[in-house]
A and B are shown apart, each in its own frame.
Chain A
Amino acid sequence: MSQYEIDLRLPVDIWRKAPFMLVGPDIRFLPLGVLVDSIHHGDKQLPRITPLVLSKICSNGLKQDVVFCFIFLYINDRYERVMLMTHPVKIGSVNHEALEALLKEIFRIAGLLECQIVEVELNDLVEGSVAFPTSFSSISHDVEVAEMIKSDLEVFHREGFREWAEVECFEHKVHELERGLDETIRSQDMLHMTQVKVEDYLKLVSRLGGSKIRSFRLPTWDASDSIMLLNFQLFNNSAYVLRSSSRLGFLKSSECGYLCCVQNLLEPLKTLRTPHVLLFQRLLEAYSFDTMKIMDWGISPVDRLPELLFKATEVMKEKNITNIQFANVSSDQLKVKNLLYELGFKLIHRVKLLRREVE
């Protein structure tokens, strides 16, 4: 059995092997080699995101990095401390033994951080350019090019993990979607899509929280602690509410849908050749993005989804967006999925979330 060692380090070659971007407070620290994001839980302040690299100790005593992942802490809706591990990236030659060694270390660290649960996020299917964000953590790898280890469920099952969620993302061309939408939807003017401030959007989402048809989110204890909020704040003109005009006057009940979309930040990541795209806000403002991702959404009843999408295409056309991605669909939301398929959407990304309690 080989010997392995773990280090809290973000090796420089991760940028080339699995390009990524980080969101969170004060991203200015990353180029300095420091991460400053933290969460408070109980009487503790803990790092929200920590990189982990597993190195193999070779026979000559030299160490070789083999596998890498981030660990991301969040507090779930049962007020438990959860350690979410991102999909491991391959740096050297990885085998089952290395993965097992990594998991052993993950549980050791989870114990040190007094986490009750360890979760893992696996990219089970990647078929195309998955837009930002690609993860439920604050780190989004470009999963299309990242050298991830094979989504080897067997190893995780053997280690006692069980799947608890499966989340999918679909893609379509904006103009094709628009063309394919029913003429009645395109011509009707009963619905209005209004841009709202992020704060208002969040209030609305929590008010409509009971709505069954909504996007998947990590079940965080405090909604405002959700990493998704950090993504919202990147572009403050990206949250919309869908209202039905026939019911105007009964404001609350007239809200029949909402969505929040974000430009695909992984595009400038490639063209600007930097993981620090958010430092270059001025360049981003002038950047012409191809893809936008609807990362948060809700609709009631579900049949109105085409209307929501139609309004989204109008927003996207204004921004010269050519591809639309509809994300965070739970794989058991069959009605939503069927509607998407009927409209010509293609499945491009599936994430499996696995969980195990820390003994």
Chain B
Amino acid sequence: MPLGTLALADFLDRHGYSTRIIHTGIEQLQNRSFKIEDIFKEYSPTVVGIDLHWFVHSYDAVRIAETVKEYSSAKVVLGGFTASYFAEEILSRFNSVDAVIKGDAEEPLIQFMRERDRDLQEVPNLVYKEENIIKKSEKRFIADEAFLSKLDYTRFELLLNCENYFRLTTQTGDLDPQPWKVRVKRHAWVPMGRGCSVNCSYCGGGLDAQCLITGRDKPIFHPKEKVVETLRRFMEMRIDSTYMDFDPYRDRRHHLELFEMIRKEKIDISSEFLLWSPSNRGFITEFAKTFNPLYSSLVISPESGSEEVRQKNKGFCYDNKTLFDWLNDAKRESVPVKVFFSSGLSWETKENFNETIKLGKTILENYPVIEMVSNPLVMEPASKRYLNPEMFGVKLKWKSFMDYYGRFKRLAEGIPEDSRIGYETSWESEREIIENSIRFNKMVSST
């Protein structure tokens, strides 16, 4: 569930619209015979908002929209990055979707609730269908820092069965049927900001993609006071650990000030902090001083062992020496680390992927690594590689929303897939890309 869903629900609730979040995955895990239509036995919504942020939900989001239309008279509005990027195509292909909010959705959603039977042109960021014609509102809404301070990300009571949500959303993913694995912490995500300052070739959330989708041309931070308030609420809710993934500037001044405030407020919580580039030792020292070490770790994603491949693909590039210096600092400060790699980067070859395996092995053997994995990159809509495939030596297999929808429909129906990652490169076939990650992960389990 994207972070913003709770804030959206709270914003609606505070504007007088009775709101409920239903996480269909959690409902299914709780009750194997759960069906989407069961929701309408209990609720009669006038509007159903469906998250289509990550492209992996392309099929599910539409399937839910179709069920909503079949069992209720509610209007269906979609939001999130994937929906925003493919708004027109989705509306032209699926009658079950009435509207898509592109980009930031809080203010537009309130306007949509007010204007839904009147003038939809008044709803900022809205793309909608009127008499089978797709129209786009001229009004624009881009949240700024002042607006972010109005949002509340802690109203978990609006989420049905939220207790299960805490338990199931540990970093290791879904409910695990292995009885000897005991999950022992409650975990939640804390919003830190929106946007990015760079472009990684493979990322659909980089600077240019953000400009295209939300109109945001620079990162904005959630006010520090607001983050501290959120953490305090988390503590009251007995949440043990938070995931922090917003690190757009290398100087990290903002974070250092935030850490100081967290300490001053005596907030006792663990943090899994995702660094977008290596930090200096001072940052790690402050991190270790601020967060409870029980579930705290720092996460870094060098993606490749080859400095050249890394440099050509990552917005924040750094050499291996910088990476090792950083790992040494983490070790000296006794902070566990997670290190993530990818296969399928542009300019990656079978040969230079060996450098990735070698680097991974060295790190695994010498540093306090609690998790290391390589995954094949999947083509993200709106990423640099998606928008300019030739420039990055990429041959796209998924070019439209229907391609994404089709891939995940086949997956849900158990039909063999045409492509798992949506592309191949001038240097490697799709199979080779997938095999690289398999080779890497075998190295991890045998080290």
Contacts and interface: CB of A to CB of B under 8 A. Distances in A.
A binds B: yes
B230 to A, nearest CB: 16
B297 A31 contact: yes
B354 to A, nearest CB: 25
Contact of B171 (A10, A33, A50, A275): A33
Interface stretch (A11-19, A127-135, A183-191, A330-338): A11-19
A33 B296 contact: no
B294 A65 contact: no
B268 A8 contact: no
Contacts of A34: 170, 172, 181-184
Contact of A28 (B182, B238, B332, B370): B370
A8 B182 contact: yes
A275 B180 contact: no
B293 A274 contact: yes
Contact of A279 (B170, B171, B268, B368): B368
A38 B179 CA distance: 9
Interface in A1-35: 8-16, 28-35
B269 interface: yes
Given A280-B331, A282-B331, A283-B334, A15 B184 contact: no
A251 interface: no
A63 interface: yes
A36 B180 contact: yes
Interface string A278-295: 011011000000000000
B273 to A, nearest CB: 13
A260 B72 CA distance: 71
Contacts of B296: 31
B293 A10 contact: no
Interface in B352-397: 366, 368-371
Interface in B110-137: none
Given A12-B268, A31-B370, A280-B331, A275 B293 contact: yes
Contacts of A38: 179-180
A272 interface: yes
B236 interface: yes
B288 interface: yes
A55 B163 CA distance: 14
Given A33-B295, A51-B184, A11 B370 contact: no
Interface string B289-316: 0001111110000000000000000000
Interface in A36-66: 36-38, 45-51, 55, 62-63, 65
Contacts of A279: 336, 368, 370
A276 interface: yes
Nearest to B184: A10
Given A31-B294, A33-B171, A33-B241, A273 B288 contact: yes
A81 to B, nearest CB: 15
For A33, A34, A277, the residue with the greatest tally of chain B CB atoms inside 10 Å of its CB is A33
Given A13-B292, A276-B336, A37 B180 contact: yes
A355 B247 CA distance: 53
A180 B366 CA distance: 44
Nearest to B236: A62
Contact of A45 (B179, B241, B335, B370): B179
A35 B181 contact: yes
Contacts of B240: 9-12, 33
A29 B295 CA distance: 10
Contacts of B293: 15, 273-276
A273 B334 contact: yes
Contact of A12 (B182, B241, B368): B241
A interface, how many residues as a size bin? 35 or more
A8 B269 CA distance: 18
A contacts with B: majority SS: mixed
A8 B288 CA distance: 26
Contacts of A272: 334
B185 interface: yes
Nearest to A27: B370
Contacts of B269: 12
Interface string B323-336: 00000000110111
Given A65-B238, A279-B336, A33 B184 contact: yes
A272 B288 CA distance: 10
Contact of A35 (B182, B292, B370): B182
Contact of B186 (A9, A29, A30): A9
B171 A32 contact: yes
B187 interface: yes
A52 B179 CA distance: 16
A273 B290 CA distance: 12
A86 to B, nearest CB: 14
Contacts of A13: 268, 292
B201 interface: no
Contacts of B172: 32-34
Contacts of B238: 11, 55, 63, 65
Contacts of B369: 28
Contacts of B181: 29, 34-36, 47
24 contacts: A8-B182, A8-B183, A9-B184, A9-B240, A13-B268, A13-B292, A29-B370, A31-B294, A31-B336, A32-B170, A33-B172, A33-B184, A33-B185, A34-B170, A34-B183, A34-B184, A47-B179, A47-B182, A274-B334, A274-B335, A275-B294, A276-B334, A280-B331, A282-B331
**Chain A to chain B: the 8 pairs with minimum beta-carbon distance, closest first:** A38-B180, A33-B185, A12-B240, A10-B184, A279-B368, A272-B334, A274-B334, A15-B294
Given A12-B294, A28-B369, A29-B181, 20 more contacts: A9-B184, A9-B185, A9-B186, A12-B241, A13-B268, A34-B170, A34-B182, A36-B182, A37-B180, A38-B180, A45-B180, A46-B180, A63-B238, A273-B334, A274-B335, A276-B334, A277-B334, A279-B336, A283-B331, A283-B334
Interface of A: 8-16, 28-38, 45-51, 55, 62-63, 65, 272-277, 279-280, 282-283
